[in-house]
């Protein structure tokens, strides 16, 4: 190689190096972004029937001007539901939700035995940084590091070759250099709760003991660690109803934690009732957790057989036998221990205490919201031994707008206990009750009401005549 060739080769190498520096260096007035990933401190969950509100403290951290703080959030969150409240002394320039990976099961399987990154705490500062290791197992997720095997939550992983985290983050761009802290609140469809009630009915004393619990559900891929939880019953007004369909490949897993520790107490909050759980809760990604809500309470109750029929305005000679629907009628006292327990919408199962003391399932129903002290009913199904047979014995049309009708009602109780029967006969038109036998039929507006207690192994026949103008 000649001296000229050597000089030319050195010139080419220096030129390429200079070209690389021109590409790498930022344009005038710009700087490389410094990113720091934080976890919410003191997280709080406020759960509604169809969505949740996640809030917490953004720990104090030092940032450069234009620096970015990243906080993991649920994948169901949009920027429209994010609220960042910086403390005095700094302000937020921009908010952005970072791209994320999704499709967890396939990605984990593909990276088994490969190098991955995971979030690791930095001392006691609350800050997090990424460490690396080999993915060794999937259930639980185990990563091999220089310090041995470590169990890692799925939402703490990052896959270097792809460059995306398994969950999105909220990227908060800070305006000025210095110290930054604040609060973050965001709406997350996929976080929700529902009320569950178990009622044990004692027919001898006509009382029901009510056990309440809350089912907390997390259909997102973000685990919520040691959060304070408030569940809210009531209608939440939103500008647009959340439309979230979970896309997780893993089935929802349910665990029960029915430890009867300190109980929550209902507190009115405007249009809603709130229950604050006494202990912090960890709600894993894709999991549901059932926790005790209030201490059990006892309420007066009795089983009622209730039927409601619409009387047609045309003659019918058909005999209409039917079983009578059965309800558990619960009537809280106006004052006392049973008067301060609102009922949230949710599932209820009713058991009856048998003579041997064992509970027997009577039925289950969906409850609607009931305020404190308000009576409510639980549908148990159709009665096996209480039947009603309705027969139209006379029908007379007086003119085009007026008719008279006579009905015969036969009630039968073939059971071994007394049956409280409540019948309601509805009419389409202006109603006048002309006669009834026996005199236990009462007119209420455009309906007739019949109430009686039917002895075991007995029958009761009731006849009435009504005039209707329509």
CB within 8 Å of 260: residues ≥ 6 apart: 292, 295
Q: Are 434 and 466 in contact (CB under 8 A)?
A: yes
pLDDT at 381 over 70: yes
The more confident residue out of 213 and 262 is 213
Q: Is the pTM of this model over 0.85?
A: no
Taking Cα atoms as reference points, which of 396, 395, 388 lies closest to residue 320? Answer: 388
Instruction: Count how many residues are written for the chain.
Output: 470
Taking Cα atoms as reference points, which of 429, 393, 431, 428 lies closest to residue 409? Answer: 393
459 pLDDT tier (thresholds 50, 70, 90):
very high
Q: Are 455 and 421 in contact (CB under 8 A)?
A: no
Question: Alpha carbon of 124 to those of 56, 73, 89, 129, 245: distances in Å?
Answer: 17, 22, 24, 13, 37
Q: What pLDDT score was predicted for residue 304?
A: 95
Domain spanning 302-327+381-469, CATH class: mainly beta
Give the 3-state secondary structure of residue 244: coil
CA atoms within 13 Å, Cβ hemisphere of 43? 23
Q: Specify the pairing of strand 441-444 against strand 430-437.
A: unpaired
Taking Cα atoms as reference points, which of 186, 277, 213, 270 lies closest to residue 236? Answer: 270
Cα gap 326→306, rounded to integer Å: 6
| Averaged pLDDT, 402-418 | 94
CB within 8 Å of 314: residues ≥ 6 apart: 395
Of 119-128, 188-197, 257-266, 338-347, least confident by mean pLDDT is 257-266
Cα gap 272→232, rounded to integer Å: 7
pLDDT at 3 over 70: no
Q: Are 178 and 191 in contact (CB under 8 A)?
A: no
Which pair of structure tokens corresponds to residue 406? 């006579």
What are the boundaries of each domain within the chain?
A: 35-188, 302-327+381-469
Mean pLDDT, all residues of the chain = 83
Cα gap 293→333, rounded to integer Å: 21
The secondary element (H helix, E strand) that includes residue 200 is strand 191-202
Of 123-127, 184-188, 344-348, 391-395, least confident by mean pLDDT is 123-127
Q: Are 299 and 197 in contact (CB under 8 A)?
A: no
Question: Alpha carbon of 448 to those of 312, 403, 412, 431, 464: distances in Å?
Answer: 14, 16, 20, 9, 10
Question: Alpha carbon of 244 to those of 46, 74, 170, 192, 240: distances in Å?
Answer: 18, 12, 19, 12, 12
pLDDT at 87 over 80: yes
Taking Cα atoms as reference points, which of 313, 319, 303, 315 lies closest to residue 409? Answer: 319
| Averaged pLDDT, 356-367 | 89
CB neighbourhood size of 187 (10 A): 21
pLDDT at 10 over 70: no
Cα gap 76→82, rounded to integer Å: 11
Tokens 């909220």 belong to which residue?
Answer: 170
CB within 8 Å of 223: residues ≥ 6 apart: 153, 154, 155, 282, 283, 284, 285
Say what the alpha-carbon torsion angle 92, 97, 98, 101 is, to the nearest 10 degrees: 160
Measured in degrees and rounded to the nearest 5, phi and psi for residue 376 equal -150, 165
What is the CA 43 to chain-centroid distance, rounded? 19
Of 188-197, 198-207, 351-360, least confident by mean pLDDT is 351-360
| Averaged pLDDT, 146-162 | 82
pLDDT at 255 over 50: no
Q: What pLDDT score was predicted for residue 350?
A: 96
Q: Which of 35-49, 97-111, 316-330 has the highest mean pLDDT?
A: 35-49
Cα gap 214→286, rounded to integer Å: 17
Cα gap 199→363, rounded to integer Å: 10
Cα gap 178→65, rounded to integer Å: 8
What percent of the chain clears pLDDT 90, i.e. is strictly above it?
52
CB within 8 Å of 303: residues ≥ 6 apart: 201, 203, 326, 327, 328, 329, 380, 419, 420
Which pair of structure tokens corresponds to residue 289? 């957790």
pLDDT at 53 over 70: yes
């Amino acid at each position: 190689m000649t001296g000229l060739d050597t000089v030319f080769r050195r010139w080419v190498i220096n030129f390429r190096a200079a070209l690389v520096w021109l590409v790498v260096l930022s344009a005038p007035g710009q700087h490389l972004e410094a990113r720091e990933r934080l976890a919410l401190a003191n997280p709080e969950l406020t759960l509604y029937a169809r969505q949740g509100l996640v809030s917490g403290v953004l720990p104090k951290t030092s940032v450069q001007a234009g620096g970015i703080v990243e906080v993991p959030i649920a994948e169901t969150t949009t920027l429209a539901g994010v609220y960042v409240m910086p403390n005095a002394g700094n302000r937020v320039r921009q908010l952005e939700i970072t791209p994320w990976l999704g499709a967890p099961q396939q990605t984990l399987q593909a990276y088994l035995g490969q190098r991955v990154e995971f979030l690791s705490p930095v001392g006691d500062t609350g800050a997090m940084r990424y460490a690396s290791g080999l993915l060794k197992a999937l259930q639980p997720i185990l990563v091999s590091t220089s310090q041995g095997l470590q169990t890692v939550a799925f939402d703490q992983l990052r896959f270097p070759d792809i460059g995306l985290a398994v969950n999105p983050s909220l990227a908060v761009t800070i305006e000025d250099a210095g110290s930054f802290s604040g609060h973050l609140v965001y709406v997350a469809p996929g976080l929700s709760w529902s009320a569950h009630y178990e009622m044990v009915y004692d027919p001898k004393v006509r009382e029901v003991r009510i056990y309440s619990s809350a089912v907390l559900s997390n259909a997102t891929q973000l685990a919520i660690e040691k959060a304070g939880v408030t569940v809210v019953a009531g209608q939440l007004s939103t500008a647009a109803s959340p439309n979230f369909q979970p896309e997780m490949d893993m089935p929802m897993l349910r665990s029960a934690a029915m430890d009867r520790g300190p109980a929550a107490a209902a507190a009115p909050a405007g249009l809603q009732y709130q229950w604050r759980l006494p202990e912090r809760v960890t709600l894993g990604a894709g999991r549901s957790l059932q926790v005790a809500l209030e201490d059990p309470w006892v309420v007066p109750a009795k089983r009622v057989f209730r039927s409601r029929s619409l009387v047609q305005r045309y003659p019918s000679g058909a005999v209409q036998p039917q079983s009578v629907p059965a309800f558990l009628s619960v009537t809280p006292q106006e004052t006392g221990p049973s008067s301060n327990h609102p009922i949230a919408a949710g599932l209820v199962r009713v058991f009856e205490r048998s003579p041997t003391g064992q509970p027997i399932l009577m039925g289950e129903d969906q409850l609607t919201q009931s305020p404190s002290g308000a009576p409510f009913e639980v549908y148990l199904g159709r009665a096996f031994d209480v039947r009603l047979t309705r027969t139209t014995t006379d029908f007379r049309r007086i003119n085009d707008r007026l008719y008279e009708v006579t009905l015969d009602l036969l009630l039968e109780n073939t059971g071994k206990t007394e049956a409280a029967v409540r019948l309601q006969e509805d009419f389409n038109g202006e109603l006048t009750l002309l006669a009834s036998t026996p005199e236990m039929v009462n007119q209420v507006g455009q309906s007739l009401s019949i109430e009686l207690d039917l002895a075991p192994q007995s029958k009761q026949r009731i006849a009435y005549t009504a005039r209707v103008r329509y």
